[in-house]
Structure 1
Amino acid sequence: MTLRALHMKHFTALQGVRTPYVFRTIFVTVLIAIVLAVLFLIYVPWVQTTGGRGTVTTLNPNERQQEVNALVSGRIEEWYVGDGSRVQRGDPIVRIADIDPQLLQRLEAERGQVEIQLQTARNALATAEIDLRRMQELFQAGLSARREYEQAQIRVEEMRGNVAAAEASLVRTETNLARQSEQLITAPRNGFIQSINAGDEATFVSAGQVLATFVPETQTRVVEVFVDGRDVALVQTGEEARIEFEGWPAVQFSGWPSVAIGTFPGIVETVDQVAQADGRFRVLIKEDPNAEEGWPEDRYARIGTVVRAWILLETVPVGYEIWRQLNNFPPELPPVSADGSTNGSQGN
């Protein structure tokens, strides 16, 4: 019998004390959980992201929402479209009539008069040039005075000035006539009339006034988001991104984009060189042409739809990411290759 067993015979109450089974179970469970948590923080990867909210837009300014302006001042004579109307290129939108209904006729009559004046000036110039050649021959033969020869030269120059003035007057008249002829405003391309901004018939409008809002039909969509200035240096052209469209069911795991549901892939197209007034930078993200899943159809993600985007950066351990977030540090910088370029290790 060992010494411990010999002594334990004198402590009968101590012999009756045993560690409960449930406590041993809890201890083992907590120990395993701690070990698993440490392994999780060290070895499980986390994809760092940066991004923000924005809207769907387009790169080509011709495909963005446009305003239809009045080309001349006048009175609205007739509308050919209404809110939501679909138009083809060249279809009439509105006709504007001048306040003076006889203005076009008077301008055409004025052009005819100016053309007659121009022809008269040209005939006078031709006659003056004939006189100049005759006076030059007489002067060279000694049959005419120098003064008469110089006066003939002056008359030729005067006639040339009259021809130039008549041509300028004709150009002005034709310009005014062309402007007044642009009273029928047509659609610049295929699209839709989103709203009518001017009044009904008999409403007076001035040149340049907005008459309607036009939305082109064919559009190449991109996502416009605004990134915090602290993270903009980490965003590179060609970086991958995940996009969540408003109204589209989605479950996003920013650190594990491969298991995200309802988000769509994108590629960073460009990053603004100058910040906005609030200090954020605009980032344009286009659709990934190599992705298996494309963006939603236009009717689900129209121009102006609110989106949220996550730009994928470096892959780091989960523990490092938690430590970074607690200390409010910026994401990890991408490694720099020998030629000075950055090679980001983006996660999938």
Structure 2
Amino acid sequence: MPFAEHPLEETNPLTARFRSFEHVQTPRAGRTVARWLGGLGILIILAGFLPWTQNIRSTGQLTTLRPQDRPQTVPSTIGGRIDKWLVREGQRVKRGDTLVLITEIKEKYFDPELLVRTREQLAAKISSLEENKGKTVALGDQQVALRSGLAVSLDKARNKVSQTRLKVNSDEAELRAANNDFSIAEQQLARQEALYKQGLKSLTELEQRRLKFQESTAKRQAVENKLGASRQELTNAQLELSSLQAEYQDKLAKSESDRRSAVAYQFDSEGQIAKLRNELANLSIRSGYYHITAPQDGYVVRALKEGLGEIIKEGEDIVTIMPIAPALAAELYVKPMDIPLLRVGRKVRLQFDGWPALVFSGWPGTSFGTFGGRVAVIDNIDSQGQYRILVIPDPELEAWPKPLRVGSGVYGWALLDDVPIWYELWRQLNGFPPDFVGRPAESAKKDAKKAAKPTGSAEEEEVK
């Protein structure tokens, strides 16, 4: 079949010189494919300049931002035996509601009237202390009386010593007079005897003089005896004065010893009273631990102990409670090489397990079924080679689904800077990390304030 002549080939001077061009013709299908391929190439080249949002992919699970919102186990403060269950699994409870009743298993606390008896012991000890204080006061008054009696007795004994000394002085003067009388009587007797020998005096007069001499001698002897007795009485008075002081000192020392013993007993009683009060307070607090109560509003998720009569140890977990309306946060784990690219307030897109989604990681605005968030916490230490971050809901975007539960899986894309698609392909082919672009401190502070604001607003909404 002859080829149709092309009108362009007739006018083209180059083709007119060669006869072979008269037998060659380009098929129309080839032209169409070439045009489509050229247009597609142009579109690809143009698409390479479209913006692409760099991101950091990570996985994790749902948790809570506040520690008190996380599932918690309720332990038993004391050891005991399960006596009665007052809740079931899945039941909603309020703070302070009794979950389980337990009874004692220690012999020390078996007595049902233990609190009453301890109060009686405390009251008896307090009464004993009051009486002992009265005894201490009485002993102090006794010492005052003894010191007063000592002063009076010493004055009396000193007066007696003074009186006896005066008596001794009087007896000494009387003795001197008696000695003078004796000397005179002796001289008169000697002269009388001389006169009698000369015949001038009679025998009767001599005998009278001798009688007076004997009387003078007897009087002097009596005065000497009286003086000796007075001196002995003075010595006894002085000894009595010394013994009196020693006697009172002994009584005062004994009274002081009794007083100190009473004070020591008083301090010991105060220590025992403090110990009894401590024991009473411990017993009162312990009696409140027989009712294991809910620490906050929530749901009973699981009973860790079953049945009645089961023995539980001190500090052993009994039930697990999930708080009501926790402030959810996504717990994601990021590679160490990506951590420098993140900061508090950085936007994140999240996909939750069980929630249908169509994701275009480079074009977050065109994705379906993803939800926005902001980085609230970045850990400073790694956990098994990865760093943990916490992402909270972004208040400026759609709210997270209410059916979400703590522990479900999460996929996250931390949004970074926008770059051309050709650059992102080149980076991926070469294995380079995303671009790290610095920013001013003021913008960092604004992002930090924005990241802190959702947490407070979420708490306020929960309180309302």
Aligned twin of 2:40: 33
Q: Per the alignment, in what secondary structure is the counterpart of residue 104 of structure 1?
A: coil
- Cα distance in 1 for residues equivalent to 2:71 and 2:444: 38
Instruction: Name which of structure 1's ranges 203-212 and 255-264 shifts more when overlaid on structure 2.
Output: 203-212
Equivalent position amino acid for 1:288 in 2: D
Q: Per the alignment, in what secondary structure is the counterpart of residue 360 of structure 2?
A: coil
- Cα distance in 1 for residues equivalent to 2:111 and 2:415: 64
Query: TM-score w.r.t. structure 2 length?
Result: 0.67
Q: Following TM superposition, by how much is the alpha carbon of 1:255 offset from its aligned partner in structure 2, in angstroms?
A: 0.6
Alignment match of 2:82 (pick from 66, 76, 85): 76
Structure 2 portions without partners, runs of 5+: 1-10, 152-247, 448-464
Aligned twin of 2:417: 314
Aligned twin of 1:191: 298
Alignment match of 1:290 (pick from 387, 396, 411): 396
**Larger proportion of helix:** 2
Q: Per the alignment, in what secondary structure is the counterpart of residue 110 of structure 1?
A: helix
Structure 1 residues 327 and 175: CA distance shift in structure 2, 3 A: same
Q: Contact 2:304–2:317 (CA<8 Å) still a contact in 1?
A: yes
Equivalent position amino acid for 1:111 in 2: R
Structure 1 residues 137 and 324: CA distance shift in structure 2, 3 A: farther
Aligned twin of 2:158: none
Q: Contact 1:46–1:256 (CA<8 Å) still a contact in 2?
A: yes
- Cα distance in 1 for residues equivalent to 2:407 and 2:344: 23
- Cα distance in 1 for residues equivalent to 2:414 and 2:89: 38
Q: Following TM superposition, by how much is the alpha carbon of 1:83 offset from its aligned partner in structure 2, in angstroms?
A: 1.2
Aligned twin of 2:23: 16
Q: Following TM superposition, by how much is the alpha carbon of 1:39 offset from its aligned partner in structure 2, in angstroms?
A: 1.9
Equivalent position amino acid for 1:85 in 2: Q
- Cα distance in 2 for residues equivalent to 1:14 and 1:196: 92
Aligned twin of 1:54: 60
**Larger proportion of strand:** 1
Structure 1 residues 185 and 177: CA distance shift in structure 2, 3 A: same
Q: Contact 2:125–2:269 (CA<8 Å) still a contact in 1?
A: no
Aligned twin of 1:231: 338
Instruction: Name which of structure 1's ranges 136-145 and 319-328 shifts more when overlaid on structure 2.
Output: 136-145
Q: Contact 1:227–1:282 (CA<8 Å) still a contact in 2?
A: yes
Q: Following TM superposition, by how much is the alpha carbon of 1:142 offset from its aligned partner in structure 2, in angstroms?
A: 5.3
Asked whether 1:119 is paired with 2:224, we answer no
Structure 1 residues 4 and 222: CA distance shift in structure 2, 3 A: closer
Q: Following TM superposition, by how much is the alpha carbon of 1:134 offset from its aligned partner in structure 2, in angstroms?
A: 4.6
Alignment match of 1:44 (pick from 50, 56, 63): 50
Q: Per the alignment, in what secondary structure is the counterpart of residue 32 of structure 1?
A: helix
- Cα distance in 2 for residues equivalent to 1:279 and 1:17: 67
Asked whether 1:280 is paired with 2:386, we answer yes
Q: Following TM superposition, by how much is the alpha carbon of 1:180 offset from its aligned partner in structure 2, in angstroms?
A: 3.5
- Cα distance in 1 for residues equivalent to 2:13 and 2:50: 51
Aligned twin of 1:335: 438
- Cα distance in 1 for residues equivalent to 2:434 and 2:278: 65
Structure 1 residues 252 and 130: CA distance shift in structure 2, 3 A: farther
Structure 1 residues 2 and 167: CA distance shift in structure 2, 3 A: closer
- Cα distance in 1 for residues equivalent to 2:293 and 2:328: 25
Q: Per the alignment, in what secondary structure is the counterpart of residue 321 of structure 2?
A: strand
Residue-by-residue CA offset, 1:273-310 (whole Å, 9 max, x unaligned): 1111x21111101111122x11101xx21111111111
Alignment match of 2:273 (pick from 136, 158, 166): 166
Q: Following TM superposition, by how much is the alpha carbon of 1:133 offset from its aligned partner in structure 2, in angstroms?
A: 5.2
- Cα distance in 2 for residues equivalent to 1:135 and 1:257: 97
Equivalent position amino acid for 2:399 in 1: G
Q: Contact 2:139–2:255 (CA<8 Å) still a contact in 1?
A: no
Aligned twin of 1:302: 405
Equivalent position amino acid for 1:64 in 2: R
Residue-by-residue CA offset, 1:125-161 (whole Å, 9 max, x unaligned): 3421442355257548855536346422453133122
Q: Per the alignment, in what secondary structure is the counterpart of residue 207 of structure 1?
A: coil
- How many positions carry a matched residue from both structures? 336
Q: Per the alignment, in what secondary structure is the counterpart of residue 45 of structure 2?
A: helix
Q: Per the alignment, in what secondary structure is the counterpart of residue 302 of structure 2?
A: strand
Structure 1 residues 238 and 270: CA distance shift in structure 2, 3 A: same
Alignment match of 2:114 (pick from 98, 106, 113): 106
Cα RMSD between the aligned structures? 2.6
- Cα distance in 2 for residues equivalent to 1:150 and 1:290: 84
Structure 1 portions without partners, runs of 5+: none
Asked whether 1:132 is paired with 2:140, we answer yes
- Cα distance in 1 for residues equivalent to 2:37 and 2:315: 75
Q: Following TM superposition, by how much is the alpha carbon of 1:166 offset from its aligned partner in structure 2, in angstroms?
A: 2.5
Q: Following TM superposition, by how much is the alpha carbon of 1:106 offset from its aligned partner in structure 2, in angstroms?
A: 3.1
